[in-house]
Structure 1
């Protein structure tokens, strides 16, 4: 439903705290509990007794989402109707503004053995500074292929961005990242005839880049995914009548919020810096998105106890976030990343909405099971924004 005719202005403040990959599944090594159930979370549990709870589906039942569509859904956009490629997200995340001549791809350094089999598709999460130096070396050696300019932008840890700039390029080509260790990188293929030039250029780039990195102990392989053009999408402020501030440490998330027109400062690597900036600029905005990445990283690494510790760390920061007295406070996730599964999953996200007008479910814990019994029920994540706007008093009555 288009909400534009129902939007109204007031001075209410909305805060979305997004714990990336928060949800889990029962782990047999830890009493068949999820990480949320195992963790000590007194502040989240206290909120659970004062909030409405539920579970959100990022895309659709049984569909495992990438971070891009999962966040797009959280921001109130149907991710099936609005598709933004991972490459564009990464490009905007590192501050690169694309033109109509550009094709961007998310790149990973990985580690392969002598037979070309991936042993670690994240190259041990090599330090950002080490990765940046390797990217610069490749960039010095590979600047142009045919009539296409090659632009490389370093990201965090093992990540970087490949941008192709030229005429006659297409984003209709397959990924080389198999998304799993123990396999060889996938063969690049065109998905339409107009992509043949792009495939040819990318293959040549990979060939030349491989010569540069072949002796690297960890970053000896490049994996590519999410080839995409410059996106076109309605700005968040125009869609919901909210002046937004987006606070994240990782480029991909900053890329999406910049594409949506949110103010997105670069604040370094520490989550505490995000909280500090949020408190200092609370008076200037209506909507605040605060992203917490560490739960997702621990889940992908299959480290149950580390994910528990990160959940407990986030819980300890809840009082500081609430010290600004927002009118609506939402705690949720973009997707689930169970440590037992070691990757994104299709499981719904535990969610709470705390506001003086929202009511309360009177549950004792903030967990997946408790959220299952909440007032919100099981809803699509992109239906969350209307509920939040209503709790903030920002929607008029519909009809006579």
Structure 2
């Protein structure tokens, strides 16, 4: 029996409430001063929470493996990220409520900046605003290639979703995005004989798109990755007996919540908006996933100071969440995004679990170094959900 099967067997429906706060890309690495972003930030409320809780570090997938956002979040939701895979394209599509049809293949698109030699100088085109992306998407939308329609819609900032709709398509193809500057976009290659048509159509589309985008500097290129179809996972409510509410301003994370069957409620673009939405819905659900994107964006931009400021901004608002008095509160991240790396890292992520029945440890600060000595130890991220359920008294005893 795997973890999902065991949870389905043991979980109880109760009145207790759980709040899971995911500070995207939370973990960091030391800067020249020898401190991580969390160690640098003034976060007295997080530190106070840690001193009353049980803390530790978690690996989103396995030690040494750098996770994408999909595996990182699925692990936090209690799913084995090695068994439950989902492509970025589907997440982007679901996040904007795109009406996916059977057989659709979706890819996540990044508008990017190319130099005169076709080399990528900025994978995010200066994070062009969503309105600019919407104009560009409308010019790319509706291209037909070999009877396959290509649908393009803006997501947020530089991100678009590209959906291929037609017969005989496969998602077993490679990305065109090398995920590094200083390289040219890559051709899309078939992963097997069944995906040659998909690869050919994707490459034709990218060639046509490059001509359309040529005059749109800095968004004069398009990178595709995460070709995928809709997966089918065990439902969150079926497994955990929870009425779950997802609060996320960024489309992809709404998509992740939808994949597992959470109710995704409307919210605004800021953390204040998200906390307001949490308050408004607190009596309607018994599990809340609240997502904070800004930590990850700062880390990806290599902006150490901005990530510190985001953490401090969250800390100032933390009492508003604690004030709702959830029975169990978890604060962690889906992965590390150290500003010194400028991207996702394989490094373990701090986690704090707070509740009446937690056994507090000696940790008195919420950061990477302090959490190493916490009572949770070093655990797989997929074990956090059972811990939250247990501390909310939502698990029966296992065995006689």
**TM-score (normalised: structure 1):** 0.97
Q: Matches of 2:188 and 2:105 in 1, distance apart?
A: 15
Q: Matches of 1:363 and 1:268 in 2, distance apart?
A: 34
- Secondary structure, in 3 states, of the residue corresponding to 1:124? coil
Aligned to 2:23: 19
Q: Matches of 1:4 and 1:267 in 2, distance apart?
A: 30
- Secondary structure, in 3 states, of the residue corresponding to 1:268? coil
- Secondary structure, in 3 states, of the residue corresponding to 1:378? strand
Aligned to 2:112: 110
Aligned to 1:75: 77
Aligned to 1:200: 200
Aligned to 1:8: 12
Aligned to 1:354: 354
Q: Matches of 2:111 and 2:123 in 1, distance apart?
A: 7
Q: Matches of 2:149 and 2:268 in 1, distance apart?
A: 29
- Please give the residue correspondences for 1:128-167 in structure 2 after superposition, counting only pairs within 5 Å: 128-139=130-141, 142-167=142-167
- Secondary structure, in 3 states, of the residue corresponding to 1:3? helix
1:325 equivalent in alignment to 2:329: no
Do the aligned residues in 2 keep the contact of 1:175 with 1:186 (CA within 8 Å)?
Answer: yes
Aligned to 2:245: 245
Which whole-Å deviations, capped at 9, do the CAs of 1:212-234 have from their partners, x for residues lacking one? 11011111000000101111111
Aligned to 2:127: 125
Q: Matches of 1:239 and 1:304 in 2, distance apart?
A: 39
Aligned to 2:285: 285
Do the aligned residues in 1 keep the contact of 2:120 with 2:185 (CA within 8 Å)?
Answer: yes
Q: Matches of 1:48 and 1:80 in 2, distance apart?
A: 30
**What CA RMSD, in Å, does the superposition of the two structures yield over aligned residues?**
0.9
Paired positions, count: 396
Do the aligned residues in 1 keep the contact of 2:120 with 2:184 (CA within 8 Å)?
Answer: yes
Which whole-Å deviations, capped at 9, do the CAs of 1:210-269 have from their partners, x for residues lacking one? 121101111100000010111111111111111100011111111110111111123232
- Secondary structure, in 3 states, of the residue corresponding to 1:212? helix
Do the aligned residues in 2 keep the contact of 1:99 with 1:230 (CA within 8 Å)?
Answer: no
Do the aligned residues in 1 keep the contact of 2:112 with 2:123 (CA within 8 Å)?
Answer: yes
- Secondary structure, in 3 states, of the residue corresponding to 2:163? strand
Q: Matches of 2:212 and 2:30 in 1, distance apart?
A: 44
**TM-score (normalised: structure 2):** 0.97
Aligned to 2:63: 61
Q: Matches of 2:77 and 2:180 in 1, distance apart?
A: 29
Gaps of 5+ in 2: none
- Secondary structure, in 3 states, of the residue corresponding to 1:272? helix
Do the aligned residues in 2 keep the contact of 1:50 with 1:354 (CA within 8 Å)?
Answer: yes
Do the aligned residues in 1 keep the contact of 2:113 with 2:124 (CA within 8 Å)?
Answer: yes
Gaps of 5+ in 1: none
Aligned to 1:90: 92
Do the aligned residues in 1 keep the contact of 2:246 with 2:263 (CA within 8 Å)?
Answer: yes
Aligned to 1:99: 101
Q: Matches of 2:370 and 2:243 in 1, distance apart?
A: 33
- Secondary structure, in 3 states, of the residue corresponding to 2:179? coil
